């Protein structure tokens, strides 16, 4: 069974930071249609700060330590809405594997579920409101569904597929939260940028897992 240590999680955050840099303009363009156009820049500021903070970390840090430092760094770098949401998600992910020096596939499923629960709790949002929850919630259900006996690759691929489908489905929704809620029907036809970036993060997790898993 594949296991992952703190250094693997540093590599994951690096991969996410690089992906966000590639997608930054695209994410801000999505946000420009139904929001204030800053989502790509905001996510970039947060994950660049995380990547930088983790690069200096001691190699013996546990996955939980890495997630906790990422949470704190993201929150310090990004004050606005998405900051507390991902900070809470990462804190919950760390808490789910506290004390473990290595984590396995089932732990990763629990971490994804913990992230989704944290975002829903902190954002007081539920599926169907055209937010990042529409990607994270089905991804968590898929990860937990694949958890029993599933490989790391299977679990993370299931989460990524469900997250992508959930993000795409936000196009048909009227927003129930945030700035885009003011647009009413005019937001219909456009994907929520927070759900889009969530799906991209889940996809990056699946790619990272497939490069490490047996
Ligand atoms: Mg925005």
Tell me: the pLDDT tens digits for 52-93? 999 987 778 999 999 999 999 999 999 878 999 999 999 999
What is the Cα–Cα distance from 86 to 49, expressed in whole angstroms? Answer: 13
Task: Note whether residue 1 is domain-resident.
Answer: no
Q: Phi/psi zone of residue 153: left (φ > 0), alpha (ψ -120 to 50 degrees), beta?
A: alpha
- Residue 146's domain is classified under what CATH number? 1.25.40.340
Each residue of 23-36: pLDDT tens digit? Answer: 999 999 999 998 88
Res 146 pLDDT > 90: yes
What is the Cα–Cα distance from 64 to 85, expressed in whole angstroms? Answer: 18
Q: What's the pLDDT score for residue 58?
A: 75
Spacing, Cα 56 to ligand 1 middle (Å)? 30
pTM of the model: 0.96
Task: Note whether residue 124 is domain-resident.
Answer: yes
Spacing, Cα 36 to ligand 1 middle (Å)? 4
Task: Note whether residue 129 is domain-resident.
Answer: yes
Task: Note whether residue 123 is domain-resident.
Answer: yes
DSSP label at residue 132: T
Spacing, Cα 99 to ligand 1 middle (Å)? 36
CB under 8 A, 24+ apart: contacts of 181-188: 183/34, 186/34, 187/34, 187/130
Outline where the chain has alpha helix (H): 6-34, 39-55, 63-77, 82-96, 105-123, 133-147, 152-169, 193-212
Spacing, Cα 82 to ligand 1 middle (Å)? 9
The β-bridge partners of 4 are 103
Q: What's the pLDDT score for residue 176?
A: 86
Q: What's the pLDDT score for residue 74?
A: 98
Q: What's the pLDDT score for residue 181?
A: 82
Res 2 pLDDT > 80: no
Within 8 A by CB and 6+ apart from 56, the residues are none
What integer best gives the mean pLDDT of the chain? 94
Q: Which of 42-46, 78-82, 120-124, 130-134 has the lowest mean pLDDT?
A: 78-82
Task: Note whether residue 203 is domain-resident.
Answer: yes
Print the domain residue range for 129.
6-212
- Residue 92: burial class (beta carbons within 10 Å; 0-12, 13-18, 19+): buried
Question: How many domains is the chain built from?
Answer: 1
Under the banding of pLDDT at 50, 70 and 90, the label for residue 214 is low
Under the banding of pLDDT at 50, 70 and 90, the label for residue 122 is very high
């Amino acid at each position: 069974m594949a296991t992952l240590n703190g250094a693997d999680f540093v590599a994951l955050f690096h991969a996410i930071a690089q992906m966000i840099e590639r997608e930054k303009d695209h994410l801000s363009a999505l946000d420009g249609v139904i929001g204030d156009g800053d989502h790509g820049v905001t996510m970039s500021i947060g994950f660049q700060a995380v990547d930088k903070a983790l690069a200096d970390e001691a190699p013996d840090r546990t996955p939980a330590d890495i997630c906790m430092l990422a949470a704190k760094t993201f929150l310090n770098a990004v004050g606005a809405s998405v900051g507390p949401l991902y900070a809470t998600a990462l804190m919950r992910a760390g808490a789910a594997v506290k004390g473990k020096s290595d984590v396995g596939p089932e732990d990763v499923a629990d971490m994804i579920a913990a992230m989704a629960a944290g975002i829903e709790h902190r954002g007081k949002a539920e599926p169907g409101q055209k937010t990042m929850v529409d990607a994270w919630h089905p991804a968590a259900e898929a990860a937990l569904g694949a958890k029993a006996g599933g490989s790391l690759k299977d679990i993370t691929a299931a989460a990524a597929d469900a997250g992508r489908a959930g993000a795409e489905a936000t196009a048909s929704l009227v927003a129930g939260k945030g700035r885009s809620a003011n647009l009413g029907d005019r937001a219909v036809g456009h994907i929520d940028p927070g759900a889009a970036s969530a799906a991209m993060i889940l996809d990056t997790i699946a790619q990272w897992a497939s490069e490490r898993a047996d």
